[in-house]
C-alpha cells in the first residue's frame, strides 16, 4: 500500500514525523562561514573570503562581486551575492545552492558558470527558512538591480530545488533549472513512499506542475544522495519540462565535471529560452 507496510503506515498516521524532523533527516549541515559581511550592511560591499573558500580567480573577479543583506518576510537577514559575470548578459541566474556549502565556497563556481553561459549570477544561502529567503532574494533582484522577471532564470541544486520550485510555482520567470532535485522530503527520508502526506516537507512533486516557465531537469543516473528516480518523477509530472539531461554515471556532486552539463545549459539558455 503506497510502498509502505501496514505497520509503517500506522506509525506515520499515529505519530507522523513533523516537517522539521524530515528536514533534519535531509541534514542541513552549513559549514563554518568562509566569507564575511558587515553586520549592519544596507548597501553593497566587496566580498571578503577566507582561505577555506578556495577562491580560484583573481582580485579583478572578486572586485566584481557584491554582497548585500536583505530582509525576509519572517524578519531574517538574508545575505546575497551578486556577480557581474558578463557585462552584456541578458539573463541573471538566481541560484539556490545545495547542502554543506556556503556562498564563499560557491563563489568560484558562480563566476565560472556565469562566464560560460553568459549570465550574471545571484546566490543566496540554503537554510531552513527556504521559502521566505528566496522571496527576499527575488524581490531584491527586482528592486535593487531593476531586473525584470522575464530576465531571471531560477536555478536550484539539491535541497536548493525546494525554494526554486516553490518560487517558480508562484511567479513566472524566464526559465527554471532543477539540478539533482528531490520530489519531497518524505520520499528522500523514506524511499518507499509513493504518495504525498499532509505532513510531508518540501513537496516539489505537488508544485512542479504549477510552473509556467520552461524547466530543465538535470540528474545523475548514479546519484547516491537523491536517487535518479526523483528527477524522472519530476520530469513526468512537469508539463513545461524540456528535454532533460540525464548524466550517465554521474553522482550527486560531480555533474558539473561532465562536458554535457555546460553544453546542455548553453543550448537551453541561448536557444530554447531565448526563442520564447
User: What is the Cα 112 distance to its own chain's centre?
Assistant: 17
Radius of gyration of the chain (CA): 18
Please enumerate, as own/partner, the contacts of 108-114 that have beta carbons within 8 Å and a separation of 24 or more: 108/53, 108/54, 108/55, 108/56, 108/57, 109/256, 110/81, 110/83, 110/85, 111/57, 111/61, 111/65, 111/83, 111/85, 112/56, 113/85, 114/83, 114/85, 114/86, 114/89
8 Å CB contact between 162 and 130: yes
Active site residues: 158, 223, 252
Amino acid at each position: 500500500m503506497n510502498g509502505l507496510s501496514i505497520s509503517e503506515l500506522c506509525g506515520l498516521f499515529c505519530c507522523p514525523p513533523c516537517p522539521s524532523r524530515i528536514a533534519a533527516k535531509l541534514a542541513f549541515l552549513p559549514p563554518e562561514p568562509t566569507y564575511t559581511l558587515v553586520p549592519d550592511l544596507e548597501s553593497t560591499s566587496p566580498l571578503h573570503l577566507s582561505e577555506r573558500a578556495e577562491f580560484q580567480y583573481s582580485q579583478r573577479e572578486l572586485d566584481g562581486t557584491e554582497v548585500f543583506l536583505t530582509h525576509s518576510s519572517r524578519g531574517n537577514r538574508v545575505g546575497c551575492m551578486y556577480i557581474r559575470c558578463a557585462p552584456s548578459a541578458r539573463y541573471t541566474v538566481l541560484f539556490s545552492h545545495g547542502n554543506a556549502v556556503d556562498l564563499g565556497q560557491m563563489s568560484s563556481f558562480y563566476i565560472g558558470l556565469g562566464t560560460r553561459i553568459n549570465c550574471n549570477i545571484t546566490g543566496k544561502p540554503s537554510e531552513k527558512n527556504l521559502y521566505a529567503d528566496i522571496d527576499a532574494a527575488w524581490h531584491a533582484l527586482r528592486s535593487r538591480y531593476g531586473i525584470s522577471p522575464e530576465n531571471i532564470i531560477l536555478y536550484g541544486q539539491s535541497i536548493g530545488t525546494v525554494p526554486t520550485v516553490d518560487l517558480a510555482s508562484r511567479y513566472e520567470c524566464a526559465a527554471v533549472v532543477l539540478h539533482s532535485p528531490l520530489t519531497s522530503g518524505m520520499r528522500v527520508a523514506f524511499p518507499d513512499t509513493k504518495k504525498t502526506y499532509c505532513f510531508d516537507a518540501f513537496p516539489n512533486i505537488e508544485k512542479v506542475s504549477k510552473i509556467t516557465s520552461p524547466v530543465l531537469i538535470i540528474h545523475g543516473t548514479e546519484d547516491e544522495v537523491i536517487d535518479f528516480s526523483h528527477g524522472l518523477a519530476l520530469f513526468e509530472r512537469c508539463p513545461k519540462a524540456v528535454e532533460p539531461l540525464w548524466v550517465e554515471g554521474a553522482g550527486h556532486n560531480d555533474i558539473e565535471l561532465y562536458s554535457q552539463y555546460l553544453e546542455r545549459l548553453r543550448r537551453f539558455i541561448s536557444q530554447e529560452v531565448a526563442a520564447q
